[in-house]
Copies of this chain bind each other. A is one copy, B any other.
Amino acid sequence: MRLILVGFGTVGRGAAEGLIAAAAELADAGCSPVVAAIVDPLVGSVYRQEGLDLARLLALADAGAPLTDHPGAEPAPLMPDILDLVEADVVVELTPTNLVDGEPGISHARQALSAGRHLITTNKGPIALAWRELRELAAGNGVQLRFEGTVMSGTPVLSLCESGLAGAGIRSVRGIVNGTCNYILCEMEAGTGYREALHAAQQAGYAEADPSGDVDGWDAAAKALILANCVLGADLALHDVARAGISSLDAEDIQVAARAGEVWRLVARVDRTASGWTAGVAPERVGNADPLAAVRGPGNLLVFDTEALGEVVIGGPGAGRRATGHAVVADLLAIHAGRGRRR
């Protein structure tokens, strides 16, 4: 299995670390991935037909050294030209999410799938904005499109829906899919105001300098959209997802809830209504017995209401370099096993 990694920032390096850490388990499954190229306009782009040493590239990138210092590595062109230069089975798209137009992820995805390469992506943009087009492109080219890392990072929620929950009749999904907001809300439960809690999240590395993608609910809305369209078969656009963030909550709101034995959570929901599927994200007060109340800090948790099983919950990390890297490993194993043909 030959791979091209597109993007070698935090997520790309997490994927490389995941591939290194899971080497034995990949080999056990009969899968020995060879990374033939890494392309990133900022960090650098290299290829080597015989395969690159990921540990060496990680050391180079972390030290800010040029990736071409890797023995035998040649400078590489970016997407899509790299596809002509390097034989590959799988393109792993690891560029940052852009929910305005999905670029450059959507172009990378189109190029890879059109060229008959399987696509793994951790980038919410292409899946949130162009799922149906990309799915058809994958099907038309006989390749797989996998994106476990787009929802709850490496916590295996999409593969759960694809395998064990298949046939269980999912009626609705609700849960916490943005760890940054949950971290802020938990800080506020300890008595801090919104501003201070946001600052703490930024200090802890959970929130970015411009936090609007998280606190205004865009990230959670994209994930709700992916669950609605890709798991539940809805056909919604991002603007169909009702969206409210947490920045309007203040210390008083938290205290009022606490006196009622409740906590605030930013809840993503996908529900079936008489007129079809709806998706939304909004802060909600939940009782202490609700599994969402038990999710502390940057954790994520989804509750699936199913016909066969009633409620099934899955929880785990919602972010993190290593966790997102695992999503790539899981998707690669699924491609290797030929699973997920229905996607």
Contact = CB atoms under 8 A, between A and B. Distances in A.
B296 A308 contact: no
Given A21-B308, A315-B312, A322-B308, A163 B166 contact: no
Contact of A289 (B156, B291, B296, B337): B296
B25 A166 contact: yes
A309 B296 contact: no
Contacts of A339: 163, 337, 339
A168 B314 contact: no
Given A312-B156, A313-B314, A337 B326 contact: no
A148 interface: yes
Given A312-B314, A316-B309, A333 B166 contact: yes
Interface string A288-331: 01010010100001000001111111111100001101100110
A55 interface: no
Given A315-B291, A315-B313, A308 B166 contact: no
A155 interface: yes
A159 B155 contact: no
Contacts of A330: 163-168
A162 interface: yes
Contacts of A323: 308-310
Contact of A154 (B26, B289, B308, B316): B308
Interface of A: 18, 21-22, 25-26, 28-29, 148, 154-160, 162-169, 289, 291, 294, 296, 301, 307-317, 322-323, 325-326, 329-330, 333-334, 337-339, 341-342
Given A313-B314, A339-B337, A18 B308 contact: yes
Interface centre among A21, A155, A168, A322 (most CB of B within 10 A): A168
16 contacts: A21-B169, A22-B167, A22-B168, A25-B167, A155-B312, A156-B164, A157-B164, A160-B160, A163-B163, A165-B330, A166-B333, A289-B294, A308-B322, A309-B317, A310-B323, A312-B316
